[in-house]
Amino acid sequence: MAGKAACLIFLFFFIFPLYGEDSSFTEDSSFDNMWFLFEELILSDETFFFEELFIYAGDLSLHEAGEFPDESFDEFLFDDETFLSDDFFYEEELFLSEDIFLDEETLSDEETLLAEGTIPDDDAFFFEAPDMLFEVPEYEMRSFNDIFPGFSRMQRMSAMSRTGLRRSFTKDESPSIISNPDLEINLLGSVMSKNPSHLIEAVVVVPYNERELDLLDIYNALGRIEKIKDHSSPMNGRDIYIFTESTRIQSARNRRAISDPLPAVLLPFSETIYLRLNEINLGNIFIRGDISISMYGITYNMTNFTDVRYFLVPLMRAERFSTIIYLEPVKEGILIYSMSGFYLPGFIADRVNLTPNINRRIEIFIKWITDGLRNQESIAADL
């Protein structure tokens, strides 16, 4: 009796599942087969379309009707030996291992991940993105002739001299220092927007000594506001220090003096600073300086944000004086191109000739910039 019972149990557990395979899938068995099929898709060396996967998983009985080739169908089935083998569990453990995704060496190997034609490992799903291309404008240092192509030989020699080339004219006259219009260095247009009555143009090239200077050197040279007062101008055979004080101030409203900052290590896109210059005849002159930086040069736009007075008499209204200085490293040196304009009423212009006085102050600004550039060269030499 015990033997018959054992035979019945043997038939129930081992023979009955064989007949169960011939029957259609239940909901539970379909889910189990879907999971097996998904794992086989991950671990298979061949590639299948997802549409085929869902067809196979939906009705495996179609295989018996001969509608699918044996080779494709067999890839989705597991026998007990394959499923229970050590190799299968080893591959599954390798696929789920965190080392594949968290290994720093693997993630940092750009040449392996981004090389053209590299086929990702089947055990790790890497998305190979297309290369990203950035177009960077090509920078090439320009020459003096590129910026002022129409200069005569005499004008060029004057610009290369220590004092540079300077000329004063009225609003009814035309400038003689004209830059290449294709380069859009239009200082005259910016100055004329304030409707000046008198203008002064200047250009000078400061040659390199120990090394070529760049825009950061120029920016740091312009930052030494306290040094403006240290430069003089010759008058009647002696040097006259026209500015007795030069300092930064907090803002247009808060005119508390502040120190110059330390030399910068990075260029800003733009900046506005406020200055107080104490002039020997006119007293305090308050200046707003707007600095803008382009790919080739730096533009320094200065204007008076308060009235300029001679004792108690208003000599020049606010925003009626403008000096624009453009600086660019060129092959011959640092180009300093300046355009200044100021407005004087007719009854004052007929009695007081301010042009030589303004011209003298422009000369001091050029000396101040030149000295700052030489200081930048010496700093680099010490390093």
Q: Which domain holds residue 328?
A: 150-382
What's the confidence (pLDDT) of residue 35? Answer: 45
Percentage of the chain with pLDDT > 90? 46
**Residues 123 and 156 placed together within one structural domain of the fold:** no
Q: Grade residue 258 by pLDDT with cuts at 50, 70 and 90.
A: very high
Residues in the chain: 383
Residues 97 and 240 in one domain: no
The average pLDDT across 230-253 equals: 93
Q: Are residues 86 and 164 in the same domain?
A: no
Total domains present in the chain: 2
pLDDT value of position 379: 78
Tens of pLDDT, residues 293-327: 999 999 999 999 999 887 777 888 899 999 999 99
Over the stretch 189-235, which tens digit does the pLDDT of each residue have?
Answer: 999 999 999 999 999 999 998 789 999 999 999 999 999 999 998 88
Alpha-helical regions (H) of the chain: 2-10, 16-22, 27-43, 50-58, 70-74, 80-83, 86-96, 98-102, 104-108, 110-114, 144-147, 153-159, 187-192, 215-222, 346-349, 355-382
Top pLDDT among 135 and 205 is at 205
Chain mean pLDDT for the chain: 75
Residues 6+ apart with CB under 8 A from 283: 309
Same domain, 287 and 320: yes
Domain identity same for 184 and 316: yes
Residue 266 pLDDT > 60, yes or no?
yes
Asked whether residue 167 falls in the same domain as residue 221, the answer is: yes
Whether the pLDDT of residue 29 is over 70: the answer is: no
Span 98-115, pLDDT tens digits? 444 444 444 444 444 444
